[in-house]
Amino acid sequence: MLGALEADGCWASLEAVLTGYFPSPQSVAVAARAIARIRAVNPKALVLVDPVLGDTGRLYVARETAEAIRDQLLPLATITTPNLFELQWLTGTSAAARDDIARTARTLGPPTTIVTSALHTPESIATLLVAAGAFLELSVPARTGIPNGAGDLFAGLLLGHLLNGHSTEAALDASLQNLDRVLAASAGQPVLQLAALIRGPR
């Protein structure tokens, strides 16, 4: 597959890569090789690694797959977007307070780490942006009855806003606003109501 893509000459035209769920360590290795080839022709390519490992205290993928994401993809990432459990698993910590989360995120490796579902209250859920010399906390309303896929949507929205020239802080703010519109429309629905992105302001 990688050979066919290289034969098409597509590597140089790619400005960004987004990784998400992987079913096996082998698929992680393929992605890592692809990113290396892209970076060889475009060192400035943006690599957003959404480490889809698990939530609520347990892994959703095999440990070997999670370890491959940690060891092979995170070192290549420009930005990573773990949820709090994923950050804890990747770093082997139990960080839960704001300052501890920020300190732990700085040890993860990528220049920018955005920790989703980092802090919870009955009314809101906070996302933390942690980068060299930068820290930002933004919250959206806590919502129930939400279908799967919010994390994937958030990562895609974030990358899109970054490619449109927004700063990381502005991209995060816009992505969370976009995401919240979708979640508000999706409560109690079987799937995310993506049409809310079209109906609402950008």
Domains of the chain: 2-143 (3.40.1190.20), 144-202 (no CATH)
pLDDT score, position 29: 98
- Region of 188 (left: φ > 0; alpha: ψ -120 to 50; beta: rest) is left
pLDDT digits (tens, 9 = 90+) for 105-138: 999 999 999 999 999 999 999 999 999 989 999 9
Q: Is the pLDDT of residue 202 over 70?
A: no
pLDDT digits (tens, 9 = 90+) for 142-153: 999 999 999 999
Please state, for a pLDDT cut of 90, what percent of the chain lies above it. 89
Q: Give the sheet arrangement for strand 112-120, strand by strand.
A: 16-19, 46-49, 79-80, 112-120, 124-131, 134-141
Q: Is the pLDDT of residue 67 over 60?
A: yes
pLDDT score, position 8: 67
pLDDT score, position 11: 77
Name the one residue in this structure whose structure tokens are 């449109």. 164
pLDDT digits (tens, 9 = 90+) for 28-53: 999 999 999 999 999 999 999 999 99
